[in-house]
Structures are given as C-alpha cells and as structure tokens.
Structure 1
Amino acid sequence: MSASPTTEAATLPGQGMLGVLGGGQLGRMFVHAAQTHGYRVMVLEPDAASPAGAAADAHLRAPYAEPAALSELAAACVAITTEFENVPAEALRMLAARRRVSPPADAVQVCQHRAREKAAFAAAGVPCAPHAVIDSAETAASAALAPLLPGILKTASLGYDGKGQATVMTLADLPAAWQALGGVPCVLEQRLPLRLEISVIVARGADGAVVHLPVQQNLHRGGILAVTQVPAPDVPPALAEQAIALAGRLAQALDYVGVLCVEFFVLQDGRLVANEMAPRPHNSGHYSIDACDVSQFDLQLRALAGLPLVAPRLHSAAVMLNLLGDLWFPQDAADAAPVTPDWAAVLSLPGAHLHLYGKAEARRGRKMGHLTFTAADAGTARANALRAAAVLGLQAF
C-alpha cells in the first residue's frame, strides 16, 4: 500500500525541537545531523551517561514507556523518531496521536518479531529463507521440521548481533537448542549456501518518495558487522538493482516513513534472500557520513521533518571498520586494564575518519566506534583500511 501525500507542513531547519527515543550511538549521530541543520534535539533515555543524551540539547531520563515522560516529549517536540527497534511500539502510538512520528509504530512492531518480519517479507513479495515458527515443546519435536535442517534457530524477539541464536544440525538436537534459548518463541531458518552478505538502506517520505544509498557489501564476524565496503566489490549491477528494488518494495508495502535497512544474503547460485530489516539507520551505513553528500542520518532527518528526499551521491569509495571494545584489551592478557588504541598511527593514514561514540567504558563486544577510509578509488580505500587493521590488530579481510 502506498502512502498518500502528506498535508502536514514540513518543519524547516532551525524551527523547533525534534525528539529521539533511545540514547545509543545511532541517536547520537542523528543528533549531530539535526543540530547541523539548526534543530534542537531532546532525547528520551533512562541511562544518564548515554551517547545521544550527552550530545542532545535536552535529555529526559526516564523509561521509554513512562506516560509522563512521553507527554513531556510530545509537548516539547514537533516530530519524534527512534534510534532502535526495541522501543515499545505503544509508546510510538501514544506520541503519534499528538506529533509526527517516524518510523510508524506498526512497522517498528513488525521488525521487533522475526515471525512478523518473515510474514511482511512474504506479503511484499521479498524472498527469504525457508523457515518455521517454534513456540512449544511439541513443535520443537516435530518431524515436519526435517527439511529445514541444518538450520539456524533464532529467538523471535530481542536477538541482535548474533545473540539469541543457535545452529541446529539434526532433529534430535532441536528440542535442547530451543530450551537453551529459553523455550521462548523462535524461528527456525534453513541454512543456505551463502556467497556474501549485502545491505540496502532506503528512505521513504510521507509522500511516497523513495531514495537509497548504494548497496553495501558486509563482512560479519561472530554475528557482528566487522567490515563494510562501498561500492560493493563482488555485486554485479543487476543484482544491486534487484536488491534496491526489493527494499523499496518492502518500504512501500509497510507504508513506511523514515530510514529502513534491509539485509540480504547472496546465495552461491546468485539468488537474493532477505535476512532481516531494521527500522532505523544501520551500522553498515555509517560510511555515508564521510563518503556521501547526504548521509543516512540526513535522510532520517529529512523524512522525519517532512523535507525533500534527494538521492545521495557517493563521492568517494569507502571501507568502514567496526571498532569493538576488544581493541582496548591486549589479546594475551584477558584480565588486563584497557589500553587506548594507537589512534595517532591510524590517523596518520590517508582518508581516515575516526568516529568514537562517547561510551565511558570499553567492554569486549561493545560497539565503541567506527573507522571509515575514503579514497578516489576502492583499491586505495581498501589498502589504507587494511593498514589500519594491521595497526589495530584486526583480522585482515
């Protein structure tokens, strides 16, 4: 279903305050984009030391669903967004009764649950892996699940960055794997022969206009994004166009307003299958801050404020490295105190753009920042990123 053109007036740069539910690094980068355009920003986040709260003009320290805090946010802000998908959808509905809210609560609720997400893919004609929902011990023991094995068992909600999932090889393994994940509703996905992983970030306005960033080629390690390369080196133009079209079709079917990321698997036979979607900017799109004339956070801002969406232009080839807290800890000393990485050596390399998220404590597996290398050509960007990886002790790619 397509959106009808909005009759609500745009909130022009410099006019009014915008709201964000969530205080993480995605919120922080949205705050920076909004402030660059002259907006003030209020963040609703219970953590007093959050990255977005530290950057915002105002920080409401309260739970996301607290009625008094939501009322205060709606009174102060002309439009409100979210920086992560696990914000209560009902909170977005309460805010939408008074203010422009993007993305819409219904779409966020779809993205909070893998079974609903798979159903949305099917409804939009977007192919995804064969799968089944497991919500009981009886289902987990069903012989009918045999065609899906070997497979990946994933919790239906609250799983991210490789958490809440397990590989299952045989029917005999399935009941124990389901219990190990807490006996909660899960989705069992058939394990497919993968060639590579890509993602597409689209932005859709209330008037139905859709623009997109270039297709991103991603490398994950331990279920967490490690490297993003743009242009995608191993993706033929026709396949990139297909992925962009499918992501746009999904945004249209959801009547979506805002930034939407769709992650795809490219199979060994060249087919595309959707893995998951995120109703927000995405880790794989952070390079756009330095390599595009319009970043994913600029697109989030434009969709929220009702401003025109323009197609981003990739002006530089880019390679982005995700920086986890592990970098602060010597590999041969598990209990050692954290040590600041050699940023001076990294920043001596051409085209280096370092983004640290302002998190007070480095912890293993915690996203602390990202490092983007830009260059006139992809080979140079990759070569400099590999030099940085060697300095930081990151695995080559």
Structure 2
Amino acid sequence: MLPPGSTIGILGGGQLGRMMAVPAAQLGYRCIGFAPEGDNVAGDLCADFITADWDDAAALAEFARRCDVITWEFENVPVAAVEQLPQAKVPCPPRALEIAQDRLLEKNFVEELGGRAAPFAAVDDAADLRAAAARIGTPGILKTRRDGYDGKGQWRIEAAADLDSLELPGDSLIYEGFVRFEAEFSVIVARAADGAVRFYDSTHNEHRGGILARSALPAPAIVGKQVEEARDLARKVADALGYVGVLTLEFFACADGPVFNEMAPRVHNSGHWTIEGAVTSQFANHIRAVAGLPLGETTPIAPRIAMDNIIGDAVENAADYLTEAGCHLHLYGKEDVRDGRKMGHVTRLFRNAEQA
C-alpha cells in the first residue's frame, strides 16, 4: 500500500492524466508527469512535469527515481520506454500496452480468450487486401494496425470496385468486415493487484465522425442482455494480462451477441460520467489500484446520466452549460482548438423523470 505523501508518475500529458491527478491529490499523493513537448495539459494539475522524448534514457531514469509508482494515461506510450523503468515501480505489465497498440495482436489475443471480433485479416500489400476483401466480403474497413484513434487511420471500403482506386497508406494494416449492430457499449473494469475487480455500468456510446460524442445511462435493453458476457471477456483479458488499474473494452451489441471492437489499457472517455455520476470515479479507482488501496464502489448515483464531449470550436460556447441545473462542466485547458479535438466534456445527472 502506497503511503500518503508518495509520488505517482504518469506517462503522458493529456486530459486523462489531468483527471487522474485530482483524486491522487485527494488521497494525499503527488503526481509527476512525463511526455514529449506538446500541449501537456496534465502538467497543470501535476506537482511537476518532465518534458522529454520517450527515448531520453537519462530523463526517464530521473523520472523513475522521483516516483514511487508509475502508470500511464494513454495506450500509445512506447513499450520500450516503459521497459526502461524499474518494473517494481510499474504495477501493470507493459504487455498490456504491447497488445493494445497493435490491432492484429489485440484481436488474436481476445479470440484466444474466447471473445468474438469482426472477421479480420492482416494486410501488407494490395494482394493481401484483395484476398481479404474476397474472403471477408464488403463493405469493410481498412485500418492501420497501430496509432489510429477517434476515426483516424481508417478507410471504409463499400465494394470490391473501390479497391481499384485505393492507394494503400503503407503496410502493417488490417481489414475488418463491417459489423451490423444495434448499439455500441463499453465495459470498464477496475482490477486490483490481488485480482479483485469492480465493473462500472455500461453506457450506450454514440459516435459521430468516428469520435465519441455521447455516453449515456441506462443503455438500451440489448446492452443489458449482453453485458454479462462482455464483462466475462473483460475479466479474462484483465486476468490474462495481470492488469492493475482501469481497463476498457469496447463492444458492438449485435443480434447474435456482443462483438469485441477494441480495448484501451487505461481510463476511458466513455467513463467520464463516473466523476460526478458514480460513487467512486474511474480515475479514483485507477489511482487506488496502482497505489494498492481497496477499490471503491462503482454504483451510479442517478437513474439517468449523460456525458457529452465538447469537440473543436464548440468549446467557445461551453460556458452556457454552467446555467443548467445538474450539469457538470470539465474543460481540459487545451490551447490548440481544431476540428475533431476533444476540448472538454459535460455530464448531466437526471435524478427524476421531470429533469430527464
């Protein structure tokens, strides 16, 4: 158990690290962030922040020396950087990052545990893509195996004829068959080092342009029918990885059961509602897990909850939310406003039918 006054290191400088630093401070911890130069908004709330490249061995060593335990706030932290750190200070194995950073490894890993993903195939050249499209069918989606998020690094292929005009954006790609679904949902699980787990209620996730726009509770009935099967897979993934902290798996709710989409070894956008909407937020439970503290209750505190992302220049009117009752505004302090960038979020708690 990490005593109060200890230091938690956070790899990454985004809003997730920023929101982790708040419950860490409430529990008596200091946070130090580490990330390359950029819009490192986590540094606003950390006690200190080291700005250096991921391959700067001296900076990583100094960061590790000053930390008692180390975690990360996004899944694209280079595995090589994490492996340079004293592993005794990193409660979650780097293998979780390694698998989540490669869509092909991720889907193979989940299927080996009994999960079901959309049909997929590795693509390294045009011949691979034609073979994949012929076997899996169209429509389908061509994706980069690494680094894509929020709809980036993805190309929809409606028909085989589209392949004639498509110029491959490099190699190390994956082709996935199109999934016909009734709803999208996520399973967020907090796992302690001793294997104890807590699940959050699964939200109905709505995407626009490949970016999560809204997460809401309660989710449609079909999600409720499939959530236990999805949770069972999430538990298997967490156990197989020896995971410590908050882990998220995203699913499609389909007529014949849940289909795995992707996983994120971190706190997740679809769990932002938990800050005001759950007894213990996902951020507090992540800090508890890596610090060796008991996990907190995850029960929602209102019958209906909705979280909306504030994206791009919508942030200019964000102050309007402050006039709404039961509305909680979070702005991330980002200076660079651009299309598709998450600038903040707003959570509404509906405690009765009239408010809803």
Report the TM range for the smaller structure's normalisation. Answer: over 0.9
Alignment-derived partner of residue 389 in structure 1: none
Q: Structure 1 residue 231: deviation in Å?
A: 2.2
Alignment-derived partner of residue 213 in structure 1: 200
Alignment-derived partner of residue 101 in structure 1: 90
Whether the aligned pair in 1 keeps the contact of 2:10 and 2:17 (CA below 8 Å) is yes
Alignment-derived partner of residue 370 in structure 1: 345
Q: Structure 1 residue 162: deviation in Å?
A: 0.5
Alignment-derived partner of residue 302 in structure 1: 288
Matched-pair identity in %: 42
Distance 1:175 1:108 in 2: 35
* RMSD across aligned positions (CA): 1.8
Whether the aligned pair in 1 keeps the contact of 2:245 and 2:290 (CA below 8 Å) is yes
Query: What TM-score, normalized to structure 2?
Result: 0.94
Structure 1 residue 357 corresponds to structure 2 residue 328 = no
Distance 1:283 1:74 in 2: 27
Alignment-derived partner of residue 341 in structure 1: 317
Structure 1 residue 36 corresponds to structure 2 residue 26 = yes
Alignment-derived partner of residue 264 in structure 2: 278
Distance 2:102 2:120 in 1: 14
Decide whether aligned partners of structure 1 residues 118 and 380 sit closer, same or farther in structure 2, where only a CA change above 3 A counts: farther
Distance 2:133 2:177 in 1: 13
Which structure 1 residue ranges, 5 or more long, are not aligned?
Answer: 1-9, 329-339, 384-397
Whether the aligned pair in 2 keeps the contact of 1:21 and 1:64 (CA below 8 Å) is no
Query: What TM-score, normalized to structure 1?
Result: 0.85
SS in 2 for 1:95: coil
Whether the aligned pair in 2 keeps the contact of 1:92 and 1:104 (CA below 8 Å) is no
Structure 1 residue 11 corresponds to structure 2 residue 2 = yes
- Which of the numbers 164, 174, 180 marks the counterpart of 2:163? 174
Distance 2:187 2:151 in 1: 19
Alignment-derived partner of residue 327 in structure 1: 314
Whether the aligned pair in 2 keeps the contact of 1:153 and 1:167 (CA below 8 Å) is yes
Alignment-derived partner of residue 182 in structure 2: 195
Whether the aligned pair in 1 keeps the contact of 2:185 and 2:223 (CA below 8 Å) is no
Question: How many residues align structurally?
Answer: 355
- Which of the numbers 60, 64, 68 marks the counterpart of 1:74? 64
Q: Structure 1 residue 369: deviation in Å?
A: 0.2
Output one character per residue of 1:203-227: Cα deviation in whole Å (capped at 9) or x when no partner.
1121111111111110000000001
- Which of the numbers 122, 126, 129 marks the counterpart of 2:118? 129
Whether the aligned pair in 1 keeps the contact of 2:226 and 2:253 (CA below 8 Å) is no
Output one character per residue of 1:111-160: Cα deviation in whole Å (capped at 9) or x when no partner.
00000000111111111111111112331232773433211111100110
Q: Structure 1 residue 100: deviation in Å?
A: 2.3
Q: Structure 1 residue 240: deviation in Å?
A: 2.1
Distance 2:132 2:246 in 1: 40
Distance 1:314 1:223 in 2: 27
